[in-house]
Structure 1
Amino acid sequence: MTTDTTEKFLAEVNTLYNSQDKVRREQADSWLQAFRKTSEAWTIANQVLRSPQLTPQSEAARHFAAGTFRQKITLDLHQLDATARNNLRDSLLELLYQYRSGPRSIVTQLCISLACLALQMPEWQNVLHQFTELYGKNPETVTCLLEFLKILPEEINTNNRIPISDEDYRVRSRQLLTDNANEVLQMLLIYLQNSGTNTDYQKKVFECFHSWLQSGEIAIGALEKSPFLSLSFDALQADELYDIAVDVVCEIIYETREIPESMPIIEQIYPRLLPLRAALKRAMEEEDDDKVRGYCRIFTNAGESYLDLVVQHADDFRSIVESIVECTAYQDTEIVRITFYFWHNLAETLYQPRHANIKDKFKDIYSNLVDIMIKHLHYPKDLSTWSAEKRDEFREFRHVMGDVLKDSCLISGSADCLSKPFATLSRQIANSANGNTVDWQEIEAPLFSLRAMGSEVEDEEDVYLPQIMQLLQQLPDHPKIRYAATLVISRYSYWTRFHPQFIPYQLNFISSGFDNEEVSAAAALALKYLCKDCSELLIEYLPQLHPFYLNVTNTLHGIDVFEVTEAVSHVVAAVRPTELLKALQMFCLPIAQWLHEFANKGTSATEKEIRIACDKLEQFSIIIKVVADPKKEASTADVNPGLVHPCITIIQELWPVFDLLLMHFGSDSHLSESLCKCFRYCVVFYRIPFRPLLPDLMERLVTVFGQTYLSCYLWVAIKCVQKHCDGEGTEMTMAMLSFAERLSVTMFSLLNGKKPADIPDVIEDYFRLNLALFDAPITYSQSAIFPSVFQAGISCLSIEQPDALIAIIMYFNKLLNFRENQNQQRPPSGVQTTVTITPTSPTEVSLNAALTIHDTLWKQYGTSFLENIFKGLMYTFPRDIQHEEIHEILLDLSKLYPLECKQWISEIIQQLGDSNLTSEAKNSFIKDYNLAIQEQDWKKLRRITNDFIAVFRRRYLASRQRRDKE
């Protein structure tokens, strides 16, 4: 090691690991990362690892050199030709022998490097046989073999950075894993049986076995005949092997979840599970959380995997179920959580009609779970000792426990489940009445359980709920108890509908909750559900609700205001049509008056007043939405179709106020969104009644969008088009098209002055507007804006914001779907392309003209379009983008324009200048892509595209990560 680069490497490693100077360490790291990308790194890493020096500097350098091999084999193997790769393999095998005694971290890095190399070297045959010959016969080197065998399936199944095609991966994975699984199983068994009392050695064997088992390569049949099953359960008795033994046993159980084919091995597993219950109880008595967690995992895995057997043979498997109950009752909530999925699956299975008779056998189990859950629901005595994060975690955990309570109701019945919190509440109220101190937690927990079980309690329940509702007014006046009790009323509002005698009491109970800041949120929610479920029964209370509403909405904030507004809206919506306008005016005119006064203030309005105005507009939106709810039996939107709808009358009265708001605050992003929500609800929920006002709305949208460029106005425009574009060439369709053309003038002006990345929300809504127009594709295709929108879409494909990008991709997919669907009607090449459609049903000529326009645009801009698509797939598109739609695009293009696509692809790929893309890879892809088009093998076209993009992106992303570190 005398070269300057080697000395520099050693010095930089020493600086990285030992220097106290942060800036100097960062410089060293940058140099070393750049060094790793060079071809010279192969040689120097090899030299450093072979050096006999044992100085601290060399030890750090060795670790870095081993990591260098791992990284370069993953990312830079293309730097080596076939001969160099063989030399690299032989060198790594020699190094592994050199470091057979450690350090273990270097052994691990070398094994990872060899596993990655094996996956990418199909010419390297008999990999496992070679390893066994080299390292499997000498006790001194067996640990190297075991480490490699453990790592091999892990790397093959989890390292998605390796640049290899899916097809090559499948072939090589089968060669390395599937074809060797039985041999590996036998080898590991021999090593385990010869291990004596060496638990470290045994642990390595079990880790290796677990890795292969987890990969799914070891067949159940092979496992059935292997002593590994018995040995794995025996290993649970050794503290040193306990953790890995739990992992192995759980994996064995999971792999045998296909019951019919696994019955012979399940019959071996089952008798080995039963003695573990005694071990579980000992661990619980000793409060050994780690042991309890392990046994809990085993029993729960068995319950989940053998669920059908648990149900069909309830008596035989009861011991396993009872063991899971004991785990659920344990004090550590993280252990308790492990069992929840089992309880849900079991309840769903038992609830099926075919298991009606079996369900009774589990009633006591689920009844016991109710008591257990109520116990776990208790907050600690001193809640102030908990951090905010811990409180949030516990709140989330309580809601998950609520799901277990629902499952318990399904199996044990609501009466049995309700009896438990009722008994607890009655007892605590009696204790309090006798002068005993009762902590609020003792009452809040059963109240929460009542709320959680609400969805599974029948409307006609007449035993416990009437008593529970009477109990609520006897509870201690503590804010947390009051909060929980109010939410109980909220949860049982559907029940109150069938028991209206409780309405006056519940209204008073809820109303008084608004006087307490800690309870007001629960009160708002309860009022919303009570009014929703009992709307017709509350009409007589409107005179009292009106002043209450005006008063409370002046003191509440945020979502509480909206929930109270929704509450009274449900009652208003239930009013008879002849009295609806009067009821609406009671609640809407105060909003209108406030907004009118605010709008007249113009620029003198404060930020606080603007926020209040947004809330007022939100309240109005809620009212008009709820009143027009199409889910109601007699939708008010359809009442007296010959007359002006009462909501439209209210909207007309508010229209001058809307104009003032647009004039003075149309450019305010928050207020404009609230106002647009009102417009949107008008269009969506009152389609025909609102139509007389539609021209005014569209005129204002065009004007204000031209002034503000805010996307919310396009958002409303989309709904206008969706609701009123009603077929090819109709009067309304032509009006919507003209509307879109006027909006497009502003949009194209904006695109000329802004980068797409600066206006993603506007771009998204603009292309969704054009998607809505495509409900009349022939009319739209011949519009003046279509070619410009087409070109704009291509240029905007560079955007990285997912929602905007998806909208553009959906747009082009829609275009190609239309063109492909009409493929049998392609016009002659000389058809005139300037035909204008008239407001009549489309003719064959107009259809042909539309198709010709599409063909002309695709042939003119196909290269640019495909170039942006491929660059997006390779560089910028998010990985979770809708690739399905992109593949549809590529498929349709190849079907429609096969000759052109071949030419486009060749030009685009050849022009790509990227060091991560070799000429060989380019030529291979072009050849395969064109051949797939020629053979019309569309599955192949998709596969080779996926492989090409996947291999490139792995390489590119890895290299970019390295650049970012520099």
Structure 2
Amino acid sequence: MSDTTEAFLTEVNALYTSRDKARREQADKWLQAFQKTPEAWAISNQMLRSPHSTPETARHFAARTFRQKITLDLHQLDSAARTSLRDSLLEILYQYHDGPRNIITQICLSLAALALQMPEWQNVLPQLTELYGKNPVTVKCLLEFLKILPEEITTNNRIPISDENYRVRSKELLTNNANEVLQMLLIFLQNLGNNPDYQIRGFECLESWLYSGYIAIGDLENNPFLVLSFDALQSNELFDVAVDVVCRIISETREIPDSMPVIEKIYPRLLPLRDSLKIAIEEDDEDQVRGYCRIFTQAGESYMELIVQHAEAFQSIVESIAECTAYHETEIVKITFYFWHRLADNLFESDHSRIKEKFKPIFSNLVDIMIKHLHYPKNLSTWSAEKRDEFREFRHVMGGVLKDCCIVAGSRECLSRPYNILTNLLMNTTNISTVEWQEIEAPLFSLRAMGSEIPDDEDIVLPQIMQLLQQLPDHPKLRYAATLVISRYSFWTRNHSQFIPYQLHFISSGFDDEEVSAASALALKYLCKDCSELLVEYLPQLHPFYLNVSKKLHGADLYEVTEAVTHVIAAVPTTELLKALQMFCFPIAQGLHELANKGASATEKDIKNACDQLEQFSIILRVIAERRENEETVDITTSQVHPCISIIQELWPVFDLLLLSFGADPHLSESLCKCFKYCAVFYPIAFRPLLPELMERLITAFDQTCLSCYVWAAGKCVREHSSGEGNEATLALLTFIERLSVTMFKLLADKKPDDIPDVVEDYFRTIIAFVESAPLTLSHSALFPSILGAGLTSLAVEQQDALHAVLMFFNKLFSFIVKERKSQIHSTSRNISHIPSSPTSMGFNSNLLNLETILRQHGSTLIDHMIRGLIYTFPRDFQQSYVDDILVSLAKVFPQDSQQWIMEVIQHLQDVNCTSDMKNSFIREYNLAAQNQDWLKLRRTTNDFVAIFRRRYLASRERREDL
């Protein structure tokens, strides 16, 4: 026994038996490295061929190693070695025909992956059938392979094979053998039908081939499999697999017109299953209920069109699903929800309005069922936090079903259900003290959940519900739920203003209870938003309330209360707006000024409070702008300063003090930059006179702190205020970008992009904003080549958002050139001179040529970064998102140069995973596609090359790192 073999056995034993976590991790690392070595082929074969002298754990790991190496390292073997490997695996599979099954499964996975990559192996299924299909004791090996083959071929995307070879090989292995496999499975089931193990494996094979789409549902129309599948539901041993197969068959018949012959055979077999479902529910057999629930729900979803068109005939299926929804196990209940949503959507269509009446009773009863499920348990205190979160999420999903009920049964009927429950509970005053809070909270939650489907003119039930809220027992859980009900119906309160005084009092008193304050903040926000004009008269009372509550609240609750009062401020007449703003903003300014004066003596709590105050001011700016979006134009035309701008001007000295004392604090600086962003974005015209001051502040702050938030705010200014090539505002912003860039270049000289990913991202998003507005103006900057160099350097960043921004920058540049060239060609073909919409002072064509000249100087380096990023570091989805577009644009803009660059970059790749044949083939196909301007082929060629390389590279990366 070799040293490596002994080490392998030792490490496998440690991995599976050691109690020392560090030792297990060491063994796992050794074994992963072992799997990538050429030695692993022979040692795995040796382990599997010595069943009596090798522990099962070692044999199982050896089988897994074969699958791993065939998937990732098959290039290590020549053609003769692959044939030898195939024959060895076939012998090993026969050797293990009695099990263990986990080893059989791994060998079958290995054979399936090998078959896909070994086109010279032409008789795969006939050979397996000949070897294992004649003897009953080996049939299960064949069935396991037949089950695994379509799964492995369709789902193992790590196998290094080109798209074209995959299409050819999958057709040879699967499509061309589908009918034979179906007949073979039927023969096995009929001849070995008394053995449940064989039946289960046979049904699993059928489900696998149906799922992968290689056996068509039409093939089962006159096939006994249809009958066998439903009959198997009566067997306890076959029930689970039969459910899978029946659900798959039903799912494959969802294209109703094409599948009607099969559906006509399925439908009569569904109806008797309702009795089986009732028995399972009575016996509380969760497994059986789950299985029948899956079948009926799958039928409901697949045959939705038939259910709507033939409601009476399919009513039994719908009622069966409702019985499953009423079952106590929530995991089973969830299965039905999508069906109810789809049914409600279909019945909502105008041409089904008459049919909807037939389903109203079912959806009305569904409301009661949902309320029952909404009840919190009495032993809630014993639940873990995770279980509570899961149940809260489940309640919100049930809220969606309640909305569906309103769509079908109508809002009045659905509101009456929880109202009647509450009335019965609250009117019985003698027993109210014995009523558990859960019984009242559940119908309250249902009222909240249905809110979006209730019309604002509902005058029958909702007024009674609002009156009823005043009679609730004094319990924080109920107060919380009732407050959220008021919150959800604020749109309705707008048309029923008589409830405003009561609701305001109810909400405001909730801030005295810590458990209710979050709900109160949310309710106040929506009430003030929907009833802002009606609440202007309450502003004098809201002011002291706001000052008082601001001292107690923090975070989201404080922000929602701020938004609430700002909605009311926004409804104040323009002539009084400044006064109202000063009343609410000056206390904020005073708090910020006090912090600024503290300087270094300020505590962490002081800074946190200041962040809250800056957030409050940001919210005021945003809400005023959104609610009065036409106000700014009026102010400008009348030469008046916008009230918000007046407030901003008064706060500039405070902002300057904050920048001076706390500009380097990451939290406060972000809050401050958010204010700056809202100034520049929400008040673009009114704020423009102050823009130069803001830009100067951002330049200074970024130079002093290198914090990304200042670049982020700069990007917002550029995006909002850059307005085309060459005009005065754009040139001023270009100077702004150049001064920011000087600091950025210094930063990149001292740090790696991965050390400052947030700065990289925000910087290039700022550059992108300028490129989208004035790319030619940017290209004439003396710093433009340095910006390109910074982009190339930053392509090494691994953080995805930052890399996304850098790639988008290059993509935008080249997309602009391609677009302009196409426009010029189109204009020339029509004998029209190309005139850009916003020409620069120089000729447009010369500007474009200047941009192309600069980019050509960096083209080779850019392609090198693109190719190396694709094969080593870029996330795979970035290829289709950006890199393919950049490579295609390069080929369009620099057709000859790009082909030369590609050849140089690929030929200089020094990696054992990239063979000379791979390189030459890729260069040849890439250049051919570029010459023929076949951009789809160019993308596909690149994708195939990258896919094959990365799969090989991933297999050897850890070994290279160890070396």
Normalised by the length of structure 2, the TM-score is 0.96
Which one has more relative contact order, counting CA pairs under 8 Å at least 6 apart? 1
Equivalent position amino acid for 2:45 in 1? N
The answer on whether the counterparts of 2:33 and 2:958 sit within 8 Å (CA) in structure 1 is: no
Match of 1:460 in 2: 457
Specify every segment of 5 or more residues in structure 2 that has no aligned partner in the other structure, as ranges: 826-835
Deviations 1:653-674 (A, max 9, x none): 1111011011111111100111
Equivalent position amino acid for 2:800 in 1? P
| C-alpha distance in structure 2 between counterparts of 1:437 and 1:758, whole Å | 62
Match of 1:198 in 2: 195
| C-alpha distance in structure 1 between counterparts of 2:543 and 2:23, whole Å | 71
Match of 2:36 in 1: 37
Matched, 1:700 2:697: yes
- Match among 363, 373, 388 for residue 366 of structure 1: 363
Match of 2:956 in 1: 959
| C-alpha distance in structure 1 between counterparts of 2:566 and 2:13, whole Å | 72
| C-alpha distance in structure 2 between counterparts of 1:31 and 1:387, whole Å | 39
Kindly state the Cα deviation for residue 43 of structure 1 after the two structures are TM-superposed: 2.4
Kindly state the Cα deviation for residue 824 of structure 1 after the two structures are TM-superposed: 6.2
Match of 2:76 in 1: 79
The answer on whether the counterparts of 1:629 and 1:635 sit within 8 Å (CA) in structure 2 is: no
| C-alpha distance in structure 2 between counterparts of 1:506 and 1:15, whole Å | 67
The answer on whether the counterparts of 1:431 and 1:437 sit within 8 Å (CA) in structure 2 is: no
Kindly state the Cα deviation for residue 843 of structure 1 after the two structures are TM-superposed: 5.7
Kindly state the Cα deviation for residue 637 of structure 1 after the two structures are TM-superposed: 6.6
Equivalent position amino acid for 2:698 in 1? L
- Match among 773, 797, 807 for residue 795 of structure 2: 797
The answer on whether the counterparts of 1:627 and 1:636 sit within 8 Å (CA) in structure 2 is: no
Kindly state the Cα deviation for residue 292 of structure 1 after the two structures are TM-superposed: 0.4
Match of 1:817 in 2: 815
Question: Within 5 Å, which residues of 2 pair with 1:272-421?
Answer: 272-421=269-418
* CA 1:64–1:728: 2 relative to 1, 3 Å: closer
Equivalent position amino acid for 2:786 in 1? S
Deviations 1:857-898 (A, max 9, x none): 332221211111111111111233362322111111011112
Kindly state the Cα deviation for residue 5 of structure 1 after the two structures are TM-superposed: 4.3
Question: Within 5 Å, which residues of 2 pair with 1:67-216?
Answer: 67-216=64-213
Match of 2:675 in 1: 678
Residue aligned with 2:377, SS: coil
| C-alpha distance in structure 2 between counterparts of 1:963 and 1:275, whole Å | 62
Kindly state the Cα deviation for residue 80 of structure 1 after the two structures are TM-superposed: 0.9
The answer on whether the counterparts of 1:577 and 1:639 sit within 8 Å (CA) in structure 2 is: no
Residue aligned with 1:629, SS: helix
| C-alpha distance in structure 2 between counterparts of 1:599 and 1:573, whole Å | 29
Kindly state the Cα deviation for residue 361 of structure 1 after the two structures are TM-superposed: 1.0
Equivalent position amino acid for 1:792 in 2? A
Match of 2:575 in 1: 578
Question: Within 5 Å, which residues of 2 pair with 1:430-441?
Answer: 430-432=427-429, 437-441=434-438
Deviations 1:618-656 (A, max 9, x none): 0011111111115x5854674464201111111111111
Question: Within 5 Å, which residues of 2 pair with 1:571-650?
Answer: 571-629=568-626, 634-635=630-631, 638-639=634-635, 641=637, 642-650=639-647
Percent of aligned pairs with the same residue? Answer: 69
| C-alpha distance in structure 2 between counterparts of 1:393 and 1:192, whole Å | 43
Equivalent position amino acid for 1:926 in 2? I
The answer on whether the counterparts of 1:684 and 1:723 sit within 8 Å (CA) in structure 2 is: yes
* CA 1:896–1:25: 2 relative to 1, 3 Å: same
Equivalent position amino acid for 1:44 in 2? I
| C-alpha distance in structure 2 between counterparts of 1:900 and 1:686, whole Å | 47
Kindly state the Cα deviation for residue 840 of structure 1 after the two structures are TM-superposed: 12
Match of 1:868 in 2: 865
| C-alpha distance in structure 2 between counterparts of 1:567 and 1:746, whole Å | 41
Deviations 1:453-512 (A, max 9, x none): 000000100001111101111110100000000000000000000000110010011111
Residue aligned with 1:881, SS: helix
Matched, 1:554 2:551: yes
Match of 2:536 in 1: 539
Equivalent position amino acid for 1:806 in 2? H
| C-alpha distance in structure 2 between counterparts of 1:577 and 1:230, whole Å | 76
Equivalent position amino acid for 2:208 in 1? S
Kindly state the Cα deviation for residue 961 of structure 1 after the two structures are TM-superposed: 5.8
| C-alpha distance in structure 2 between counterparts of 1:768 and 1:300, whole Å | 47
Residue aligned with 1:907, SS: helix
The answer on whether the counterparts of 2:543 and 2:584 sit within 8 Å (CA) in structure 1 is: yes
Deviations 1:205-239 (A, max 9, x none): 11111111111111122111211011000000000
Matched, 1:224 2:214: no
Match of 1:665 in 2: 662
- Match among 704, 707, 712 for residue 710 of structure 1: 707
Kindly state the Cα deviation for residue 197 of structure 1 after the two structures are TM-superposed: 1.6
Deviations 1:426-465 (A, max 9, x none): 1111123555511111111010000000000001000011
Deviations 1:899-946 (A, max 9, x none): 111111111112222222222212211111111112221111010111
The answer on whether the counterparts of 1:377 and 1:398 sit within 8 Å (CA) in structure 2 is: yes
* Residues 927-936 or 432-441, more deviating: 432-441
* CA 1:806–1:12: 2 relative to 1, 3 Å: closer
Equivalent position amino acid for 1:33 in 2? Q
* Residues 60-69 or 334-343, more deviating: 60-69
Kindly state the Cα deviation for residue 24 of structure 1 after the two structures are TM-superposed: 5.7
Kindly state the Cα deviation for residue 844 of structure 1 after the two structures are TM-superposed: 8.7
The answer on whether the counterparts of 1:370 and 1:405 sit within 8 Å (CA) in structure 2 is: yes
| C-alpha distance in structure 1 between counterparts of 2:9 and 2:620, whole Å | 73
* CA 1:45–1:309: 2 relative to 1, 3 Å: same
- Match among 753, 768, 777 for residue 779 of structure 1: 777
The answer on whether the counterparts of 2:726 and 2:841 sit within 8 Å (CA) in structure 1 is: no
The answer on whether the counterparts of 2:162 and 2:944 sit within 8 Å (CA) in structure 1 is: yes
Equivalent position amino acid for 2:489 in 1? Y
Match of 2:833 in 1: none
Specify every segment of 5 or more residues in structure 1 that has no aligned partner in the other structure, as ranges: 828-838
Kindly state the Cα deviation for residue 17 of structure 1 after the two structures are TM-superposed: 4.5
| C-alpha distance in structure 2 between counterparts of 1:206 and 1:184, whole Å | 12
Residue aligned with 2:238, SS: helix
Deviations 1:689-743 (A, max 9, x none): 1111111111111111110111111111112112221122111111111111111
Kindly state the Cα deviation for residue 19 of structure 1 after the two structures are TM-superposed: 5.7
| C-alpha distance in structure 2 between counterparts of 1:308 and 1:559, whole Å | 45
Equivalent position amino acid for 2:494 in 1? R
The answer on whether the counterparts of 1:16 and 1:26 sit within 8 Å (CA) in structure 2 is: yes
Equivalent position amino acid for 1:714 in 2? V
* Residues 105-114 or 660-669, more deviating: 105-114
| C-alpha distance in structure 2 between counterparts of 1:700 and 1:956, whole Å | 48
The answer on whether the counterparts of 1:806 and 1:882 sit within 8 Å (CA) in structure 2 is: no
Equivalent position amino acid for 1:778 in 2? L
Kindly state the Cα deviation for residue 806 of structure 1 after the two structures are TM-superposed: 1.1
Kindly state the Cα deviation for residue 167 of structure 1 after the two structures are TM-superposed: 1.7
* CA 1:811–1:21: 2 relative to 1, 3 Å: closer
CA RMSD of aligned residues (A): 2.0
Kindly state the Cα deviation for residue 11 of structure 1 after the two structures are TM-superposed: 4.9
Match of 1:832 in 2: none
Kindly state the Cα deviation for residue 199 of structure 1 after the two structures are TM-superposed: 0.8
The answer on whether the counterparts of 2:635 and 2:641 sit within 8 Å (CA) in structure 1 is: no
| C-alpha distance in structure 2 between counterparts of 1:143 and 1:522, whole Å | 60
Residue aligned with 1:800, SS: coil
Matched, 1:489 2:453: no
Kindly state the Cα deviation for residue 817 of structure 1 after the two structures are TM-superposed: 1.2
